[in-house]
Structure 1
Amino acid sequence: MTATDSSLTALSQGWWALSQLHGKIETHAERALERRHGLSMREFSLLDVLSRQHSGPGGHLQMKQVAEAVVLSQSATTRLVTRLEDRGLLRRYLCDTDRRGIYTDVTETGQGLLAEARPTHDTALREAFDEAAENPALAPLVRTVEELRVPA
Structure 2
Amino acid sequence: MTTTDPALTALAQGWYALSLLYGRIETHIERALQAGHDLSVREYSLLNTLSRQHDGEGGHLQMKQVADAVVLSQSATTRLVTRLEDRGLLSRYLCPTDRRGIYTDVTETGWRLLDEARPTHDAALREALDEAAKDPELAPLVAAVGSLHVTA
Instruction: Give the drift of 1:150.
Output: 1.0
- CA distance in 1 between counterparts of 2:88 and 2:108 reads 9
2:22 aligns with 22
- What TM-score does the superposition give when structure 2 sets the normalisation length? 0.97
CA-based RMSD: 0.9
- What TM-score does the superposition give when structure 1 sets the normalisation length? 0.97
Alignment CA distance shift 1:138-1:99 (3 Å): same
Counting matched residue pairs gives: 151
Alignment CA distance shift 1:109-1:3 (3 Å): farther
* Structure 2: gaps (5+ residues): none
Question: Which ranges of 4 or more aligned residues in structure 1 deviate by more than 2 Å?
Answer: none
Task: Say whether 1:115 aligns with 2:122.
Answer: no
Task: Say whether 1:35 aligns with 2:35.
Answer: yes
Q: Percent identity?
A: 76
Residue-by-residue CA offset, 1:89-144 (whole Å, 9 max, x unaligned):
00000111111111100000000000000000000000000000000000000000
2:97 aligns with 97
Task: Say whether 1:63 aligns with 2:63.
Answer: yes
Alignment CA distance shift 1:3-1:80 (3 Å): farther
